[in-house]
Amino acid sequence: MLDALRKGAGTWVAKLFIALLIFSFAIWGVTDFLTGFGQNTAAKVGDTEVSLLDFDRTYRQDLNNLSQQLGRVFTREEGNQLGIPQQALGRLIAEAALNNTATDMQLSLSDQRLAEIIQSDPAFRGLNGRYDRSRLDQILRANGYQEDEYVVQRRQVAERSQLVEGIAGNLRAPNTYLEVLAAYQNETRSADYLLITADTIGDIEDPDANALNAYYEENKAEFRAPEYREIKLLQLTSETLARPEDVVEADARAEYELRADDYFQTERRKVRQMSFPSQEAAEEAAAELAGGKTFDDLMGERNLSDNDVTLGVMAKADFLDETLGDAAFSLAAGTSSGAVEGRFSTVILNVEEVLPEATRPFEEVKDEIVENLAREQAEREILDLLDEIEDARAGGALLDEVSERFSLEIETPQAFDQTGKSETGSDVTLPDADGLVAGTFDSDVGIENDVIQLGDQGFIWYEVAKVIPTRERALDEVRDDVVTAWKADELTRRLDETAASFLERMNNGTPLLALAAEGELEVQTAEGLVRNTPSGNLGQDAISEVFNGPVGTNAATGSADGSGRIVLKVTDASVPAFDSADPSMAQLATQLSQQMRDSLVGQFITDRENQAGVVINQAGVAQIIGLTQH
């Protein structure tokens, strides 16, 4: 609402005060207030001051606006990182420069005109659409303004409006400018091109010994062994803490009886189902089954596969249609039903196999029950044991001592780098704990690290046992990697050379079609290309080349995915006729005119700031935005 209170009588003036008129200034490292003005002043332009109160209020309002736009609260620290203070103070300094100029030029307006401006502000209208004094009071209180203070600032806005309108109020973009820009934006082009890929180049042979050695020496840094680290770790989870040997058989049998339903399997049947479009068709098929045909015979006649008819192994309760379930479970194995009218269609069912109900005996599930009971007991002990281990660690106990005291196993995975790879390049099996790898490389040998949570109810402690520093690898260690890298670079070189050769020959008059035939390539055509819009194989670099010269321009560049090269010829360019009555042209004219006015006024403000001089109370500003002065 603060910006609304400050808007001028003209619409473009309102835009001016929210434009990016940012004054660059340094605010770091100043220890004292600057002299020449009071400690309640944020900045001074000539004889016009910007108060710390105004700066604080503007800065807070900008933060609030940003928070509302992005849907979350932004702190002052975040605002500082985004440059909000510089923007707020720069805007206030720009206003002060205009105020100072208006004072020097003795610009003013009558009290009557000022009252008319205030009363015509839509922000102060009541429910009846007319000026409402109580609405004015309400908005001023909400934004921390006294009425006298607001009237003074609104008078300054009106005076600035006079000044700005005089500088650039009626400035409009010339039609010539608009026509040229419209042509630039709306031009379309077409191009023929060849796509040169790795297939065009063909297989690249391995380098000979001399070439490989030379390449390795030039790129040795790329093949250095990274730093590896070995750790010792201790996991506290239900799996590592569980003691199945402590579970007695009586408890396991009691659990078995308690969960008897889990081990009971009701009768199931392997069922096939054939659907028919009508009751009559199903009854005809059922009559054929009764006459000696098999279910498989019917499937063959109807070109049905097993996937079309198989329902799978199902219990009676698995059938959504009870009628079908009842019919399927009334059949013997290897038999088919008659026509059964189901909820959605009429079907014939076939039962391939009957799996009778069964109960898994205790001996079959004993180990499973024991493991579950041991794990449940461990889960109840984890938090208590966590506190005990942390107390022991606080008392100086090392992981080996903790392991022995609490009967937990120390694990020593392979040394790994910062990507979790071993020295042989394989993935090292590590607990899935966030921060373990990063923490390992932030730590060092002999340093105690914080416990890391592992899953929902697990914890892990670790210590760096050994640091294996980075080193140069001998060529024999990385020969395969060096060969692969050499061949990749060689492919890039040959792609570039081929594209450059094609381009040179095109520039010397060789048709693109002849080059395509020679390289067994296809001439491809891209039409309707527009600036800054990649299309198919033509990425942004290729599009830039298409628009970089007249029709007939030849160019070579990378393909959109970067894996190939494009050699192209611009074949056509089309610029639509300029229509000043087109609504899009009117919008473009408005934007261009606004940009020109903003640019002109911005230059004027910069000149006035330079002439009047700008001084900033850096310590005061730092205090407002929450920076500690040293």
Same domain, 343 and 458: no
Are 33 and 71 members of one domain?
yes
Mean pLDDT of 122-149: 85
Residue 271: count of CB within 10 angstroms of its CB: 24
- Burial string for 97-130 (b: 16+ CB within 10 Å, else e) reads bbbbbbeeeebeeeeeebeebbeebeebeeeeee
Determine the pLDDT at residue 169: 81
pLDDT of residue 17: 34
- Give how many domains the chain has, as a whole number: 4
The answer for residues whose C-beta is within 8 angstroms of residue 86's C-beta and 6 or more apart is 22, 23, 24, 25
Q: Is residue 261 part of a domain?
A: no
- Tens of pLDDT, residues 209-235: 999 999 999 999 999 999 999 999 998
Residue 165: give its domain's CATH number: 1.10.4030.10
- Rounded distance between C-alpha atoms, residue 92 and residue 78, angstroms: 21
Quote the longest CA-to-CA distance of the chain.
114
Contact 534, 543 (CB under 8 A): yes
Report which of residues 2 and 551 the model is more confident about.
551
Q: What is the CA radius of gyration of the chain?
A: 41
Closest CA to 220 of 232, 229, 228, 212: 212
Half-sphere exposure of 284 (CA within 13 A, CB side): 8
Please report how the helices 147-168 and 133-142 are oriented relative to each other, as an axis angle in degrees rounded to 10.
Answer: 90
- At 36 the pLDDT is 47
Over residues 261-280, the mean pLDDT reads 90
Q: Which residues contact 627 (CB under 8 A, 6 or more apart)?
A: 27, 28, 80
Strands (E) in 214-304, as ranges, are: 228-236, 264-265, 268-276
Dist CA 72 CA 66 (whole Å) = 9
One-letter amino acid of 532: N
Selection from 361, 323, 329, 358 nearest residue 344 by Cα? 323
In a domain, 239, yes or no: yes
**Nearest alpha-carbon partner for 430 in 227, 230, 225:** 230
Strand partners, 340: 347
pLDDT digits (tens, 9 = 90+) for 356-381: 988 888 888 888 888 888 888 877 88
Confidence of residue 627 (pLDDT cuts 50, 70, 90): low
Average pLDDT over residues 597-623: 90
Residue 180 lies in a domain: no
If pLDDT is split at 50, 70 and 90, which confidence band does 7 have? very low
Residues 619 and 567 in one domain: no
Q: Is 17 a domain residue?
A: yes
pLDDT at 37: 53
- Contact assessment for residue 298 and residue 285, using Cβ atoms and an 8 Å cutoff: yes
User: What's the pLDDT at 178?
Assistant: 87
Find the helix or strand (DSSP H, E) in which 16 lies.
helix 11-16
Structure tokens at 72: 């979350």
In a domain, 462, yes or no: yes
Give the domain range for residue 424. Answer: 228-243+377-466
Q: What is the C-alpha separation between 92 and 90, in angstroms, rounded?
A: 5
CA distance 599 to 252: 84
Does 20 have pLDDT greater than 70? no
Does residue 210 share a domain with residue 236? no
How many C-beta neighbours within 10 Å does residue 589 have? Answer: 19
- pLDDT tens string 73-91: 888 888 888 889 999 999 9
Do 149 and 272 fall within a single domain? no
Angle between helices 479-507 and 209-218 (to 10 degrees): 90
Nearest to 298 by CA among 350, 360, 341, 261: 350
Do the beta carbons of residue 68 and residue 29 sit within 8 Å?
no
Distance of alpha carbon 234 from alpha carbon 241, whole angstroms? 11
- Tell me the pLDDT tens digit for each residue of 440-467: 999 999 898 999 988 777 899 999 999 9
Spatial neighbors of 36 by CB under 8 A, at least 6 apart, are 44, 615
- Which tens digit of pLDDT belongs to each residue from 276-291? 989 999 999 999 999 9
Instruction: Kindly state whether residue 581 falls inside one of the protein's structural domains.
Output: no
Which of 38-42, 96-100, 556-560, 583-587 is predicted most confidently?
Answer: 556-560
Higher pLDDT, 36 or 318: 318
Q: Please tell me whether residues 212 and 234 are part of one structural domain.
A: no
- What are the percentages of helix, strand and coil residues in the chain, rounded to 5? 50, 15, 35
User: Is residue 188's pLDDT more than 80?
Assistant: yes
400 and 447, same domain (yes or no): yes
Which has more pLDDT, 479 or 454? 479
Q: 18 pLDDT exceeds 80?
A: no
pLDDT confidence bin for 270, thresholds 50/70/90: very high
* Residue 256 near residue 249, CB atoms below 8 Å: no
- Does 283 share its domain with 407? no
Chain segment 511-567, per-residue pLDDT in tens:
999 999 999 999 999 999 999 999 999 999 999 999 999 999 999 999 999 999 999
How many beta carbons lie within 10 A of that of residue 289, not counting itself? Answer: 19
Assess whether 511 and 457 both reside in one domain.
no
Three-state DSSP class for residue 43 = strand
- CA 345/CA 277 separation, integer angstroms: 7
Angle between helix axes 399-406 and 362-394 (nearest 10 degrees) is 140
Q: Are 351 and 270 in contact (CB under 8 A)?
A: yes
Place of tokens 């890298």: 485
6/136 same-domain check: yes
Q: Answer whether residue 607 is part of any domain.
A: yes
CB 430 within 8 A of CB 229: no
For residue 512, what are its two tokens? 């693109």
Instruction: Share the mean pLDDT of the chain.
Output: 87
| 304, pLDDT greater than 80 | yes
Predicted TM-score (pTM) of the model is 0.55
Q: What is the mean pLDDT of residues 99-104?
A: 89
- Between 6-20, 74-88, 564-578, the lowest mean confidence (pLDDT) is in 6-20
In the chain, the amino acid numbered 384 is D
Assess whether pLDDT exceeds 70 at residue 10: no
Cα 31 to chain center, whole Å? 41
**In this structure, are residues 480 and 500 in contact, taking their beta carbons and an 8 Å threshold?**
no
Residue with the bigger pLDDT between 495 and 390: it is 495
Answer yes or no: is pLDDT of 6 > 60.
no
The identity of residue 200, as a single letter, is T
Phi, psi at 267, each rounded to 5°: -60, 140
- Over residues 50-79, the mean pLDDT reads 87
Beta bridge partners of 368: none
**Same domain, yes or no, for 525 and 564?**
yes
Enumerate residues 6+ apart whose C-beta is below 8 A from 520: 200
List Cβ neighbours of 364 (8 Å cut-off, separation of 6 or more).
none
Share of the chain above pLDDT 70, in %: 93
Is 580 part of any domain? no
Tell whether 381 and 423 lie within a shared domain: yes
* Residue spans of alpha helices (H) in 71-105: 76-81, 84-104
